[in-house]
């Protein structure tokens, strides 16, 4: 079981954002808590696309705590495989 962060860099205000997903909702929310991302920011809750958009400094922190760095394409493949 793992948490994943992609290399997406979408501008949002003065920040650049990426995606954080996990194999389970529990892992995803535990990592959000650990890196200081409020659970109210979860996106597509309860679907295979459940994720957080996080800024790049939170991405670095997530990797420090064990998240796996992947490409955006890899993250999309992981989302699709969660359905199967």
Domain segments of the chain: what residues?
A: 3-83
Instruction: Please work out, in degrees rounded to the nearest 5, the angle formed at the alpha carbon of residue 25 by the alpha carbons of 32 and 59.
Output: 30
For the segment 22-47, the average pLDDT, to the nearest whole number, is 96
pLDDT given for residue 77 in this prediction: 85
Instruction: Report the C-alpha gap between 9 and 1 in whole angstroms.
Output: 25
Instruction: Report the C-alpha gap between 48 and 78 in whole angstroms.
Output: 9
pLDDT given for residue 83 in this prediction: 56
For the segment 22-32, the average pLDDT, to the nearest whole number, is 96
Q: What is the pTM of this model?
A: 0.91
Instruction: State pLDDT tens for residues 10-26.
Output: 999 999 999 999 999 99
Where does the chain have alpha helices with state H?
Answer: 25-35, 56-64, 72-83
Confidence bin at 2 (pLDDT 50/70/90): very high
């Amino acid at each position: 079981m793992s948490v994943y962060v992609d290399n997406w860099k979408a501008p949002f205000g003065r920040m650049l954002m990426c995606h954080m997903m996990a194999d389970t909702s529990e892992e995803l929310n535990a990592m959000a808590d650990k890196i200081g991302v409020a659970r109210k920011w979860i996106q597509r809750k309860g679907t295979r696309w459940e994720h957080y958009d996080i800024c790049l400094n939170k991405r670095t922190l997530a990797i420090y705590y064990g998240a796996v760095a992947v490409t955006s394409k890899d993250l999309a493949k992981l989302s699709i495989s969660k359905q199967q």
